[in-house]
Structure 1
Amino acid sequence: MDSKKGDLLALASIPLIMTLGNSMLIPILPEIARKLKVSSFQVSMLITVYAIVAIILIPIAGYLSDKFGRKMVIIPSLIITGLGGALCGVAPWFGQGISVYWIILAGRFLQGIGAAGAFPIVIPLVGDMFENEEDVSKSLGLIETSNTFGKVLSPILGAALGAWLWYLPFLTIPALCLISLLLVIFLVKSPKRKEKAPSLRSFLKDVKGVLKEKGRWLYAIFAIGGICMFLLFGVLFYLSEQLETKHHLKGVMKGLVLAIPLAALCLASYITGKKIGKNKVLMKWASVIGMVLSTGSLFGISMFNNVYFVISCLIICGAGVGIVLPCTDTLITEGIEKEQRGTITSLYSSMRFIGVSLGPPIVSLLIQTTHMTMFIVIAVVSLAAVILILLAIRPSAEPEDDPPLRRHAIHQP
């Protein structure tokens, strides 16, 4: 693993930049709406368009990475992301109002295309780089930590840059993408492909076979990844709205408060990635503990509406999600053969993007009910993830006794 520190540094920059490119906008969306004279719904589309495009294209990017190589997909994806950010950033120089809005929306569309072939391809590439499962889990823990650190940094950085110049967050993306691009080009060494890539028909047949054989636990992990992102972005949307409307916190101060539960998530991801090693039984029960923490904290919030109590519970919820993500990343990466790994993990990444997309709008509808109703509904969704882990994920404590096709997989009944 020590010999691949440069590779991991370069790859860890990708989720950091992708997260910043999207989440930095959240604290400045009201300012963008005022500057461009557009509605709240129109400005929310700057987030939604990015996510929808990524959801649709992630599986295609996964297949292309399996066929042509991970690095061959990541490099053009970073370039497209940078170009999309540049288009958004220069749009205010060429007009005002609704015309600028449509240019920015087009730039976000491009960013969504780039995002589909960036972070989702990093996960299978890390799996390709190492033969030792313990190295894989530690490395994926670092990648997930970088992703969550981006979430911690984004509300603070976005608010600070937006306070200086409202479109400055857009302009930072090309510079960050250029840094990551250079790191990937010069530091990442793609593992050599042992066999020629199969035809599309043969490949789809193999993927169908994988889903048929291992579908029970794979679909469970897909759902758990989506639920984790739904919980995270849903409660952050709620907290952001409450801080501004009830407690009159705006700008950098609001960003700092939003960063607190995300910092707990980041720390939990880092520690979990280092501790789980190649022990799949530990991964399952760590995931159970993480989701139980999240579920319990959300039920707790439903009982009390004191802001300090809410933030304390969200810290626990964030830590719980942070425990789960490195475990699910490793289980799905190590449970799939390299030939289909890019496509299967891309389906997992799509589910995470779906969770990101659904969290804020569903919570915005639930806010119109009572505080207790809203958080009981969210807690029940979290409880569903606990049940999925317990019933569908059944790892073998002795993988060396597995049949060859399941040596790195997870047992099903």
Structure 2
Amino acid sequence: MVENKVSRWCLLSMASIPLVMTLGNSMLIPVLPIFEKKVGITSFQSSTIITSYSLAAIFLIPVAGYLSDRFGRKIIILPSLILAFIGGIIAGFASWKLEDPFIWITVGRVLQGMGAAGATPIILPLVGDLYKDDDEQASSCLGIIETSNTFGKVLSPILGSLFAAFLWFLPFFSISFFSLISIVLVFFFIKVPKGKKEKPQPFKQFIKKTKDIFKQEGKWLFPVFLLGVYAMLVLFAVLFFMSDILEKTHNIEGVKKGFVLAVPLFTLCVAAFLTGKKIKGDTAVMKWVLIIALLMVSGSVIFVGFVYEKLILLLVVTSVLGTAIGAMLPTLDALITEGIEKEERGTITSFYSSSRFIGVAAGPPVMSIVMKEYLNISYIASGVMGALLLVIVLIFIKADEGKSEEKTA
């Protein structure tokens, strides 16, 4: 039997990973207009600085999940954090020394994305390992992990703007610094529960078992994946849009812009923390949280394009949106972590994390394309998508989902 006593340092170490990886992506959003001017690139090209990170993560996350199930969580997390550290050094050095650094910035971002692929998604199954058979503590811990993730989003625009005010490429180097801190914490303080060491599962058997899981649990897993894509797509599209219009429409730049961007992200952070505390492994409550959150997202996102010229109204609308997304994220984490047995947990959570990165990757470039000609149409379409997902949740996510132990019994 695994003890559920987890030290505060261990919890802090786990929380540092999503914090660092969030800083690694979100910190660059407020300074993308600066990159465009300094490097001489278009708005679409600057959006690929975010997208290249996410695309690398999308394809490698399932592999990392498979390896973590077979070889152990910590063995995969540490090299991944080191890779993120190296990627930040490459991107920062290229920005500092090269006349045309865009290609090498992209290479560094891809390496960071590979690091994110091997670190971030493994935290969810690691929480499940540490709090085995204790759904309430697991939900609470997941709330803290997701809050760390969202707190990183709150800090990101402020820190990114602050660093760029000194040197425009300093955000790249700062990512490596934060990665180094996380490496030290993980190495010394995360103690993975000891159990019987299994031989690596043959890859063909792994593929077959994964297919079987999706056949058995797909009716609620696929909607959860879609919700993950949708939440991050809307969030990063809105953040990219706000970063652009705050300068062009409201003449808000630098650190002040970072604080303005942090307002809706702060509501997201608070909602994630409170939701993680309240759901306590209760799938009926989780379903209601998703229903209410989707109603809030659908009802608020359609107004973003109509109110962007009025800063206060824009912040009110995006704060409602942030609150809704903040409630969704720990709920989706808990559904998957508590709904899949330990042996397959790393694999399935990795697919879920990969789905979230699809939304992160798509948001900025899609917004860069539609915001000039089809701004209001795109936000209305986002609201309609949220309404459709609400119907899917009502039909396919039942109050007894997310309890693999009961199903096995």
Q: TM-score, normalised by structure 2?
A: 0.93
Q: Which has the higher mean CA deviation after the structures are superposed, 79-88 or 102-111? A: 102-111
Contact 1:231 1:382 (8 Å CA) reproduced = no
Residues 209 and 316 (structure 1 numbering): CA distance in 2 closer, same or farther, change over 3 Å?
A: same
User: How far apart in 2 are the matches of 1:186 and 1:311?
Assistant: 41
- Structure 2 contact 339–403 (Cα < 8 Å) conserved: no
Does the CA-based 8 Å contact 1:140-1:326 persist in structure 2?
yes
Match of 1:213 in 2: 216
TM-superposition CA deviations, 1:100-120 (whole Å, max 9, x none): 332222211211111100111
Residues 360 and 104 of structure 1: is their aligned pair in 2 closer, same or farther, counting only changes over 3 Å?
Answer: closer
Query: Deviation of residue 359 (structure 1)?
Result: 1.4
Which among 229, 236, 240 is matched to residue 237 of structure 1? 240
Could you tell me how far 1:399 is from its partner in structure 2? 5.8
Report % sequence identity.
46
Listed one character per residue, the Cα deviations across residues 91-148 of structure 1 (whole Å, up to 9, x for unaligned) are: 245x4321x3322222112111111001111111111110200111101100000000
How much does 1:276 deviate?
0.7
Structure 1 residue 313: deviation in Å? 1.3
Pick which of 393-402 and 103-112 moved more.
393-402
Q: Report the alpha carbon displacement of residue 344 of structure 1 after superposing the two structures with TM.
A: 0.7
Distance change (3 Å), C-alpha of 1:161 and 1:141? same
What is the CA distance between 1:195 and its match in structure 2?
5.3
Deviation at 1:316, TM superposition (A): 0.7
Map of 2:365 onto structure 1: 361
SS in 1 for 2:6: helix
**How many residues were matched structurally?**
403
Kept after mapping to 1: 8 A contact 2:340/2:402: no
Q: What are the Cα deviations for residues 157-177 of structure 1, in whole angstroms up to 9, with x where unaligned?
A: 001100101111111122211
- Residues 35 and 97 in structure 1, CA contact (< 8 A), matched pair in contact too: no
Work out whether residues 47 and 368 of structure 2, in 8 Å CA contact, stay in contact via their aligned partners in 1. no
Q: Distance in 1 between matches of 2:76 and 2:9?
A: 19
1:313 aligns with 2:322: no
For residues 259 and 400 of structure 1, what CA distance do their matches in structure 2 show? 38
Q: Which amino acid aligns with 1:87?
A: I
Q: By how many angstroms is 1:304 displaced?
A: 4.8
Distance 1:39 1:302, change over 3 A: closer
Aligned to 1:379: 383
Aligned residue runs from structure 1 range 230-379, under 5 A? 230-301=233-304, 304=307, 306-369=310-373, 371-379=375-383
Range with bigger deviation, 39-48 or 131-140: 39-48
Please tell me whether residue 114 in structure 1 is matched to residue 115 in structure 2.
yes
CA distance 1:296–1:39, shift in 2 (3 Å): closer
Separation in structure 1 between the aligned mates of residue 278 and residue 346 of structure 2, nearest angstrom: 25
2:159 maps to which of 157, 173, 190: 157
- 8 A Cα contact 1:36 1:96, kept in partner: no
Deviation string, structure 1 residues 349-374 (Cα, Å, up to 9, x no partner): 11100001111222233323455423
Deviation at 1:398, TM superposition (A): 11
SS at match of 2:7: helix
Structure 1 residues 127 and 165: alpha-carbon distance in aligned structure 2, compared to 1, 3 A threshold = same
Shift of 1:315: 0.5
Deviation (angstroms), 1:194: 3.2
Distance in 1 of aligned mates of 2:181 and 2:384: 42
Q: List gaps (5 residues or longer) in structure 2.
A: none
Q: Which amino acid aligns with 2:183?
A: L
Give how far 1:204 is off: 1.9
User: Are the structure 2 counterparts of residues 370 and 355 from structure 1 closer, same or farther at C-alpha, using a change threshold of 3 Å?
Assistant: closer
Task: Name the structure 2 match of 1:409.
Answer: none
The residue type paired with residue 325 of structure 1 is L
* Whole-angstrom distance in 2 between the partners of 1:340 and 1:393: 20
C-alpha displacement of 1:244:
1.5
1:74 and 2:69 aligned:
no
Q: CA deviation at 1:300?
A: 4.3
Q: CA 1:35 to 1:194, structure 2 compared with 1: closer, same or farther past 3 Å? A: same
How far off is 1:301 after superposition? 4.2
